[in-house]
Amino acid sequence: MVAHGKVRTRLAAAENLVWFQSPDTRRALLAALEDPTDDVKLAAAASLAEIGERVPVAHLLQARPGNGSESSRRLETVLVRVAKHQTDDLICVAGDRSFPERARVAAIDALARTGFFHLVSSISHLAEDRSPIVRAAVARGLGVLAHPDSGEAIAKLIHDPEWAVRAEAAEAAGRAGLTTFIDRLSVLLCDENWWVRFRAGEALVGLGGNGIEALRCVASSAEDRTARMAAAVVLAERRLA
Amino acid sequence: MSSLTLDAMVDATGQVVMFIVIGTGILQNSLYILQLVLAISELSKRPPEGRLRLLWRRYADVSPHISLLVPAYNEEKSIVESLRSMLALNYPKLDIVAINDGSKDGTLAAMIEGFGLEPVVRSFEEAVPHKALRALYGSPRLPNLIVIDKEMGGKSDALNAGINLSRAPLVCTVDADSMLETDALLHAVRPFIDEPTRTVAVGGTIRLANGCRIEGGRIQAVGLPSSLLALFQTIEYLRAFLMARLAWSRLKTLTIISGAFGLFRRDVVVAVGGYSHGTVGEDFDLVIKIHRYMYDCGHDYTLTFVPEPVCWTEAPESWRGLGRQRSGWQRGALETFFRHRDMLFRPLYGRIGWLGFGHMLLVDVIGPPVEVVGYILIPLLWFLDFLSVEYMLAFLALTFIFGTFISVGSLIVEEIELRPFPRTFSLVVLTLVAVVENFGYRQICNVWRLQGYWQYLRGQQGWGAMTRLGLRRR
């Protein structure tokens, strides 16, 4: 059924084969990785990961229509499932510019969700990638891992020319508990972009006593009106004013 | 001699008028048939998904955060129940932004009491324009509900306020008096999962709740309305949503996403300046602005329509209410068409300029007056003996047979793919209604559309009072 019939049937078969573990199942799922329909292919990959089989990640991404430039977000589900067992494969995908940006982003997100602290350095290496969405994913990933060793990379990302990267980096600093970033985050309260100001304010709150004190200081005495307002509203929203 | 020439001239004029009227009719009906074929093809390519558990298993992990924007004006009797049913929707990452648009009744008080709300402060970006906010309300018990109290500015203004306050990447606009299917968002979000960077907006099928059994803010049993007027509208909604919008979606030329339910990428809505003020067709206008923006920026994008029923709304059951609604729709279409008329047939706007605007020109701009002129002139010319009986019968036959064929066709397609009505009797009734609507109802609708024309030319604003029974009060 996974090889023939309508898309709906093939998809359902690829999803449900996970309950029938056997060599035949493995063969059928591997064959389904060549299915012309994205959904079926991804469902087969997810099932393979679920039964503990190695998923040929690079092949899966290369064989995608349009080389995965507009791939379904279900790819993220597959990569999250394989991340714990195929960490090296995902590190390769994340760092290889020949893969589509979205696939690299999905790989970084999946790596971060493993919670393996040793991945901090692998992810941090990508902080100067030329793609802004990859850099944003790096910042987000470091925030998810929330390890103090990520400070150096976050310090670079917090001054990124792209606002989306700065916003992610600000949030990551808060989540990683980097109290040494209080001054940097305070500066971001007068960023030109609202999201950056907002994330910086939230991060300062997340840093606890010293961060909140810095926010109060900015709210009461900063020269920049935007920074004052940003700090005051965040404090009021958290009922800390 | 001069009398003969005059006769010949009148005769020739009669022939020209007749050809224009019949030609426009044939063109319109051919378009409808094309839509029907495309809708069938789309449904066979991508059959609708039904089961909630399956949807959840497939999409919940990767579903983006959605802010549900619920503008409310004088909804004190139903707003709490509406919001309760929305809070109970099956979607993993959802928050609700209810906007009290300067209601004159106790809408705000009802929400404060119903949810134990208290004033809150919330940081937000002044990204799109709207009237002043009076206060924001929230509750620690319901962190995913925020209520905005603002000065009255109309639906578009209220939605703009909601867009500013939302922090999710996707915003979903819903009428406060509509009811969503519990799995509506899981259905509608699917294109954003399948094509996350290309998809900028998604519309879904709106169904009529008249005649359905409603309990606890949910449709418990689907039924047909008892009023003939609502039955006519049931057929119209099936045609409009399942056939027309699905077909335009397939052609990548979807130009309208209903104001009753639409899912949009927030950053794109902000980039186009949010909803426009001063139009009754704000939903239509927003979609056209999005097309214009994406073409102007050279982005590869898509607007998609999902055939699954996602939202239930109430159809007006009085002639007066329906007339107001239809003339308002026509006015909204004309306002949008003429506001963006520079996109018509302009190569820069590709399919939207040619197909989308060409269709609007034919159906919304030229169609109504030509059809009414046809109804008046053809019998008149026949009466004056300038038109043969064969031509008149051909015109009537084409109009009525095409109309019936298309309505019944869309009914059959819907029945095959979605099985919307559990009782066969309902289908028999709707088939009869599809025939009957051609004799009187369709002509009256055209008169309402001409009224809309007149209102547009006079620059009339607003909808006027719409009388509805209220879904949750049924």
**For residue range B207-236, what is the model confidence (pLDDT) as tens digits?**
899 988 888 778 888 888 999 999 999 988
Is 80 exceeded by the pLDDT of residue B6? Answer: no
Q: Is the pLDDT of residue B70 over 90?
A: yes
pLDDT one-digit tens code per residue, B95-125: 999 999 999 999 999 999 999 999 999 999 9
- Mean pLDDT confidence for A5-17: 84
pLDDT at B50: 59
Gap between the Cα atoms of B188 and B308, Å rounded: 8
Q: Is the CB of residue A117 less than 8 Å from the CB of residue A145? A: yes
Q: Cβ–Cβ of A70/B123 closer than 8 Å?
A: no
Residue of B nearest to A195 (CA): B125
- Which is higher by pLDDT, B469 or A137? A137
pLDDT single digits (tens) A221-241: 888 999 999 999 999 999 988
Closest C-alpha to B68, from B156, B150, B184: B184
Return the higher-pLDDT residue of B28 and A194. A194
Q: Which amino acid is at A104?
A: R
- What are B366-424's pLDDT values in tens digits? 888 888 887 787 778 778 777 777 777 777 777 778 778 888 888 887 777 666 677 77
Closest CA to B99 of B162, B179, B177, B22: B162
Q: Taking all residues of chain A, what is their mean pLDDT, rounded to a whole number? A: 91
User: Taking 80 as the threshold, does the pLDDT of residue B18 lie above it?
Assistant: no
Average pLDDT over residues B42-52: 68
- Predicted confidence at residue A165, as pLDDT, reads 98
What is the model's pLDDT at position B470?
A: 54
The torsion angles phi and psi of A109, rounded to 5 degrees, stand at -60, -40
Is A73 close to B198, i.e. CB distance below 8 A? no
In this prediction, residue B474 carries a pLDDT of: 45
Chain A interface, best mutation among B51, B123, B300, B304, by max A CB count within 10 A: B123
Q: Give the closest-approach CA distance of B194 to chain A in angstroms.
A: 4
Across the interface, do A72 and B194 touch by the CB < 8 Å criterion?
yes
Lowest-confidence pick of A53-62, B7-16, B233-242: B7-16
Q: In what order do the strands lie in the sheet with B142-150?
A: B118-120, B133-139, B142-150, B94-101, B66-72, B170-174, B261-265, B199-208, B302-313, B179-180
What pLDDT sits at residue A68? 44
How far apart, in whole angstroms, are the C-alpha atoms of residue A102 and residue A73? Answer: 9
For residues A33 and A201, which has the higher predicted lDDT (pLDDT)? A201
Average pLDDT of span A179-187: 96
* Confidence tier at A69 by pLDDT (50, 70, 90): very low
Vertex B193, ends B239 and B65: CA angle to 5°? 100
A68: left (phi over 0), alpha (psi -120 to 50) or beta: left
- Chain A contact for B270, CB < 8 A? no
CB–CB of B47 and A80 under 8 A? no
Show residues of chain B in contact with A8, CB under 8 Å.
Answer: 47
The alpha carbon of residue B346 is apart from the nearest alpha carbon of chain A, in Å, by: 28
Q: B121, B164, B270: best mutation site toward chain A, by most A Cβ within 10 Å?
A: B121
Does residue B345 carry a pLDDT above 80? yes
Which of A9, A15, A16, A237 is most worth mutating to test chain B (most B CB atoms within 10 A of its CB)?
Answer: A237
Q: What is the band of B168 on the pLDDT scale with cuts at 50, 70, 90? A: very high
Per-residue pLDDT of A137-159, as tens digits, reads 999 999 999 999 999 999 999 99
Per-residue pLDDT, B265: 98
Beta-bridged to residue B311, according to DSSP, are B180, B206
Q: Give me the pLDDT at residue B47, please.
A: 58
pLDDT at B216: 75
Judged by average pLDDT, the poorest of B18-27, B115-124, B261-270, B443-452 is: B18-27
For an interface test with B, the pick among A15, A50, A70, A205 (most B C-beta atoms closer than 10 Å) comes out as: A70
Which of B46, B123, B193 has its CB closest to that of A73? Answer: B193
Window A:216-235, CB contacts with B under 8 Å: 230, 233-234
Cβ contact A198–B121 (<8 Å): no
Question: How near does any CA of chain B get to the CA of A238, in Å?
Answer: 8
Which pLDDT score, from 0 to 100, does residue B39 have?
Answer: 85
**pLDDT digits 0-9 by tens, B289-305:** 999 999 999 999 999 99
**SS3 per residue for chain B:** CHHHHHHHHHHHHHHHHHHHHHHHHHHHHHHHHHHHHHHHHHHHHCCCCCCHHHHHHHHHHHCCCEEEEEEECCCCCCHHHHHHHHHCCCCCCEEEEEEEECCCCCHHHHHHHHHCCEEECCCCCCCCCCCCEEEEEEECCEEEEEEEEECCCCHHHHHHHHHHHCCCCEEEEECCCCEECCCHHHHHCHHHHHCCCCEEEEEEEEEECCCCEEECCEEEECCCCCCHHHHHHHHHHHHHHHHHHHHHHHCCCCCCCCCCEEEEEHHHHHHCCCCCCCCCCHHHHHHHHHHHHHHHHCCCCEEEEEEEEEEEECCCCCHHHHHHHHHHHHHHHHHHHHHCHHHCCCHHHHHHHHHHHHHHHHHHHHHHHHHHHHHHHHHHHHHCCCCCHHHHHHHHHHHHHHHHHHHHHHHHHHHHHCCCCCCHHHHHHHHHHHHHCCCCHHHHHHHHHHHHHHHHHHCCCCCCCCCCCCHHHC
DSSP label at residue A3: S
Question: Do the Cβ atoms of A237 and B197 come within 8 Å?
Answer: no
Is B198 in contact with A70 (Cβ distance < 8 A)?
yes
* CB-CB neighbors (< 8 A) of A237 in chain B: 120-123
As a whole-number percent, the residues of chain A with pLDDT over 70 amount to 95
Tell me the ipTM for this assembly.
Answer: 0.89
Least confident of B29-33, B99-103, B139-143, B388-392: B388-392
From the list A72, A74, A233, the residue facing B121 with the nearest CB is A233
Measured between alpha carbons, how far is B308 from B182 in angstroms, rounded to an integer? 12
User: Averaged over B267-273, what is the pLDDT?
Assistant: 97
